[in-house]
Chains A and B, each alone.
Chain A
Amino acid sequence: MSAEDAEDKGAAKSIISVRGLRKSFGDAAVLRGIDLEVAEGEVVSVIGPSGSGKSTLARCLCRLERIDGGSASVCGADVQGRHKNSDIARLVGMIFQNYNLYPHMSVLQNITLSPVRVLKMAPREAEELAADLLEKVGLSDKIRARPRELSGGQRQRVAIARALAMNPRVMIFDEPTSALDPELVGEVLEVMEKLAGSGMTMLVITHEMMFAKDASDRIVFMDDGLIVEEGVPSQLLFNPRQARTRQFLQRLSGGKPGSGLSGVNTDGA
């Protein structure tokens, strides 16, 4: 990304704005002052060791956790405010590691439930929307299927379609491919890359370094409840400033093949 691009982004409307965010579970301070801005159309990947607070940050942004200090807002709306669930749902789409599809409903019903019940869309209109979205994620033929008849990759793509049906301003992904067999990761990442290409604002917690490198505008490295370092992928991955970032990346590339940076040419910075 060139300096001008960066400036453009800086000038663009801020979608996610987090200032000094703190969150504890009992005595454990899990988020210890997070500052993060995500601009409209930006794709930001969040990486970091397990337990560093990435999921908690994502969950604070969609009101699944209460915030203890600082502030977090999405499209100018304070997520701590006394909103109804429907207010946040119009702004933020959340993708979970284990999909959380409704097992007793068909794929179609999974997608249309909230548009009909929350957005008060006409059922016919919601079904058309669902069909469109399923086509986008390549699952048109599964519209009548039940979640348990689908592979993990297909389930996650349905979850993405379901979230998109609410027409959110930003999509948050919490390790969307971590529960998948390796051969199913690609189909989900492909859908996410397409979504990124269409201009969707995205915050993606991931261990897929190839995705972080190729699909994101910026990477944020979190450790121990803090953002240690952030930067454009080429800088953060290949020329990290902080020793902790370097350590984390080294451990990843030394890890099992197929994960982490083993596929990335680390000399090419």
Chain B
Amino acid sequence: MELDFSLVLPRMGMFISGAAVTILASALSLLFGAALGLFVGVMRVVPFKPLQMLAGAYIFVIRGTPLLIQLFFIYFGLPAVGINLSAMTAGVIGLSLNSAGYVGEIMRGGIEGVPAGQWEAGKVLGLSYFGSMRFIILPQAVRAMLPALGNEFVTLIKESSLLSTLAIRELTMAGQQVRSATYASFETFIIVGAIYLTLTTVTGICLRYLEKKWSAA
């Protein structure tokens, strides 16, 4: 067959607005997911068993169930208990909560990887547990975990395509709309794929830049 983009290209605007929604949803989820994940990771290691177990249970559930089911639960399930969320809100919350589970586990590994001597130095120099955590341990843990966190962020962008199942007009949904209007499936999904590839590649480059800058700092 021959590639013919003439039907698809006039609809470039739909791809672009879809990509914008994908970027927005991913960026918000990345932000909330990273913040919450940091929190979960710290809870996982604090010397207080109930908190550790709570964070452990959270990670267990998030990592043990499909993201699609988590999204459906929030969007379609929660109204049963009176919580009605817009599709976008439900989608971002779902992605954030999901990402937080993975980021939490990554952070736990990073925190545990910092040598005990760093905790000891902070303690004999008068810092509290959370003071040491904040100024000494977390900065080192995050630096060490940056490659793993980068992978998680890239995964997040790709998995945001599941938001199309909540009828959010993000990139995948835009693709489906263009396809049903033009029947140019092949060309449409080549373009959608290329845009995803661009987003993940740019994110990857940014993270590698950050990595280099931080390890040189």
Contacts and interface: CB of A to CB of B under 8 A. Distances in A.
A100 B118 contact: yes
A166 B117 contact: no
Nearest to A113: B135
B136 A102 contact: yes
Contact of A118 (B117, B125, B136, B140): B125
A118 B127 contact: yes
Contacts of B112: none
B121 A64 contact: no
B131 interface: yes
SS class, residues of chain A in contact with chain B: loop
B109 interface: no
Contacts of B128: 84-86
A110 to B, nearest CB: 9
B124 A64 contact: yes
A90 B118 contact: no
Interface residues of B, number: 18
Interface string B58-94: 0000000000000000000000000000000000000
A90 B117 contact: no
Nearest to B124: A94
Q: Which of A62, A85, A88, A162 has the most CB of B within 10 A?
A: A85
Contacts of A89: 124-126
B48 to A, nearest CB: 17
Q: Which of A93, A104, A163 has the most CB of B within 10 A?
A: A104
A100 B135 contact: no
Q: Which of B123, B126, B139, B143 has the most CB of A within 10 A?
A: B126
B159 interface: no
B140 A85 contact: no
A229 to B, nearest CB: 29
B127 A117 contact: yes
Nearest to A114: B125
A163 B123 contact: no
A100 B126 contact: no
A101 B124 CA distance: 12
B124 A102 contact: no
Interface string A110-121: 000110011100
Interface in A127-186: 162-163, 166
A88 to B, nearest CB: 7
B135 A117 contact: yes
A133 B197 CA distance: 53
B136 A62 contact: no
Contacts, number: 63
A117 B117 contact: no
Interface string A80-113: 0000111011101110101011111000000001
Interface string B127-155: 11001000110011001000000000000
A63 interface: yes
Contacts of A119: 126
B210 to A, nearest CB: 14
A102 B121 contact: yes
Q: Which of B117, B118, B121 has the most CB of A within 10 A?
A: B121
Contact of A88 (B117, B126, B135): B126
Contact of B140 (A62, A103, A114): A103
A252 to B, nearest CB: 27
Contacts of B120: 64, 96, 100
A86 B126 contact: yes
Contacts of A166: 125-126
Contacts of A94: 124
B139 A104 contact: yes
Contacts of B139: 104
A96 B126 CA distance: 15
Interface string A8-27: 00000000000000000000
Contact of A114 (B115, B127, B143, B217): B127
A90 B126 contact: yes
Interface of B: 115, 117-118, 120-121, 123-128, 131, 135-136, 139-140, 143, 217
Q: Which 10 A-B pairs have the closest CB atoms?
A: A89-B126, A118-B126, A100-B121, A86-B126, A100-B117, A114-B125, A94-B124, A62-B124, A104-B139, A114-B126
6 contacts: A88-B126, A96-B120, A102-B118, A102-B136, A118-B126, A162-B125
